[in-house]
Every structure is written in structure tokens, then in C-alpha cells.
Structure 1
């Protein structure tokens, strides 16, 4: 595997750098209390709805499902495609996401007797493989479900993670593959669910508020003293 590491030559350097990033972000932003969901099933459904859309839009769709009293496996399966599509419309790609929700609920019903905990009882590797076998569930969605739903230690990578670590100088390119970056991170951090949860949430928060794709607010960044982008 090609590890796109630049100035950090040793594993100890990488590990220390990652923990330093986490500590600075946590001190600056505080706990993020993520993923915001009342149940594990709601978390899974919101993860599927969250693909290619803002969180505010996901919240609107989830609220619609709750108001219609169908935020359950049977509730979704017994609702017509037309009605379900209308309810999840705020989350975008509503016809496609309607299909994905029904396929996933059918899968849970047939393979796990509608028991999400039976699915989550699988080890991380098996659970990831099963989730990725479902149409429309990619690496980020699968790992989000594993981390935030099943509460198992796997690091979620997204565009925010790639942007931040590229600007800080940890990786050479934002085009690094999902699995390669995840492998680098997980090889250099102690696998702890709460820690991975908080770290990922802090990265998302920081990149939305400070380390923006365009016009980052570098003068307010708590990481600026260790950032290649700022110090170039």
C-alpha cells in the first residue's frame, strides 16, 4: 500500500501528530455529541439519507418520517413508494433513497429477523462486508453505521478528513483512497469507539466552520501553528 506520508517519517511521529490534532480540536470545540439520533435505527436511516446532502436536509426528512409514525422497519416497508419518497424528499435523490431504505429494511427483516442488534453483533470485518454488500452503501456510510450505530471502533473518512490532513501535511494529496487513509489513521491510533467518534465529529465541525474548502479562516484556526497550508 502506498502511504502518502510526507514530513512524518516514523509511526511515532504520525501517532503523536494525530493525537496533537485531536487534543487541539477538542480543546477548541469541546464535545460534539454526534451522531444525533434517538435510536440506533434512526441513526442507520439518517446515515443512508445523508449521502450527498446537508445534515439540515436529513433532519427534515427524519422529522417527516417521525410525524408519519413510520420510522421503523415495518413502517417503512408498509409505506408506498410514492408516500415514502414524498416524506424523504428534503434529503434529495428521494426516489433513489426510497428504494435504498426499502432494500435495507427488507434485508434486515429477511436476514436478521428485523433485529438490528443481531446485525450489530457481527465483528467489525464481517459487519463491514455485509453493509458494503448492500446496494447504495459505500465505505463512508458503512463505517458511519459501524462507528455510530454498532458502536465499534472504526475511523470514518470523508472529504473533510482528506482536506484537513492534506493541509496539515499528513498526506500528499486529497485524492488518496478512502481505505489507504483509513489504514494510516487506524495504524497509528488506539482503537477506541468514543475517541474515534469524537475525533471524526471534531474534524467535520472544524472543516465546516474554519478549514473550509474555499476561503478557510486560517487566522482563527487552532491548528495554524502546525499547518503546512497556513505556513507556506
Structure 2
């Protein structure tokens, strides 16, 4: 995958807060839709936890429309902002200083943040050594016969973390390569003949 795609530089975002917001907005939608919503937030000067909490709800909803489920995502983004402000004074750097397991547990307690979103925030916004697994990960590795099709999230995450060095850059790039491979080749209707992992599929 690395030889085919080169460096992915995944996850896109100018600041840790933007990355965290993107992790919430990307739930159940394509990244291109998230980019439009992020652009709206920047244009409206709302890409700040205090600004998101202070602005009228309808204004924030309007900015988030491109991401889909915009009312639900307004609630989720605001819940995260309230968490960030109440616990860390709105400071992502202060949040990132917290011990990994304690911070993960705290994030999972925020309304609308599940394991994948929490791990996105931990790895990409907080620079914590957590491997992120997603639908692409499950699809690619199950099609290659390496894991069961319906393996649980935590089991799959633990599998990667057991077999990889605890390297944040490696975790980011590996996950990014999985995302790109899933988007371009390992779709619901796969393009195995064109995929850089195609030769491996034939041997499994």
C-alpha cells in the first residue's frame, strides 16, 4: 500500500481542534462532505469551542448541513466542546497531556463519541499511540481471511496494537493507507484486480 500510494499525511486538519471536530463530523458520511462543513465553520469563524457553544444553534446547524445528520452532529460537536471547555479550558494541548487510558475513557463518556471517533481524536489530535480501526479495516482484513468478518472493534484494535511497534507515525500512516485502499479498491464491489493488495488475496 505504501509503495502504491506513498505518504498519505492522514488526517487532514490545521489544528488539533479541527481534527477532533472532523472526527465527529465524518460519522456516517464521506470526507468530502466533512471538508465542506469545516470550510463553512472557518468562514463563519466558528471553528473554536467557545464560539460553537455561544453561537445560536440554527447558525451552527446551517454550517454543518453538508456533513449530513446535521442536527445530531450539532449536538455531538457541542457536547465535545462542553467537555473540552469544562475540563480543559478549551485547550486541546491540556487535554492531550492526560494519560491515554483515562482520556480514552473520558472521551467515551461524551455523548456521540464512540470507540472509533475517540481513537481518531486520540491518535490524530492528541498524538497518542492508539491504532484506529474502521469499516475499511474490517472489510480488507476479513476479505483476506485474516480476521472474522464481524470481529468486534476492540478485538481488532488490540490485534493491531499487539503486532505493531508503538509508533504514532506508523499508526497514522497505516490507518491512512487502509482508508485509501478501502476508498479506491476495497469497496462493497471490490476492484481486486487493480488493488495493490490483489496478489496477496490470491495467496490467502
Alignment pair present for 1:188 and 2:163: yes
Q: Which has the larger radius of gyration?
A: 1
1:137-176 equivalence runs, <5 A: 137-171=113-147, 173-176=148-151
**SS at structure 2 position matched to 1:219:** coil
Task: Tell me which residue corresponds to 2:2.
Answer: 26
Alignment pair present for 1:98 and 2:82: no
> How many residues of Structure 1 are paired with residues of Structure 2 in the alignment?
204
Task: Tell me which residue corresponds to 1:117.
Answer: 93
Equivalents in 1 of 2:111, 2:158: separation in Å? 24
Equivalents in 1 of 2:127, 2:183: separation in Å? 24
Task: Tell me which residue corresponds to 1:14.
Answer: none
Equivalent position to 2:174, from 181, 199, 214: 199
Alignment pair present for 1:130 and 2:101: no
**SS at structure 1 position matched to 2:166:** coil
Equivalents in 2 of 1:102, 1:166: separation in Å? 36
- 1:156: Cα distance to partner? 0.4
1:203-218 equivalence runs, <5 A: 203-214=178-189, 216-218=190-192
- 1:119: Cα distance to partner? 1.0
Task: Tell me which residue corresponds to 1:86.
Answer: 62
Equivalents in 1 of 2:85, 2:112: separation in Å? 18
- 1:103: Cα distance to partner? 1.6
What is the TM-score with the length of structure 1 in the denominator? 0.85
* Structure 1: gaps spanning 5 or more residues: 1-24
* Structure 2: gaps spanning 5 or more residues: none
Task: Tell me which residue corresponds to 2:197.
Answer: 223
**Deviating runs (4+, > 4 A) in structure 1?**
none
- 1:225: Cα distance to partner? 2.2
- 1:77: Cα distance to partner? 1.1
- 1:83: Cα distance to partner? 0.8
> Of the two structures, which has the highest relative contact order with CA contacts closer than 8 Å and spacing of 6 or more?
1
Task: Tell me which residue corresponds to 1:8.
Answer: none
1:7-86 equivalence runs, <5 A: 25-86=1-62
Equivalents in 1 of 2:9, 2:146: separation in Å? 26
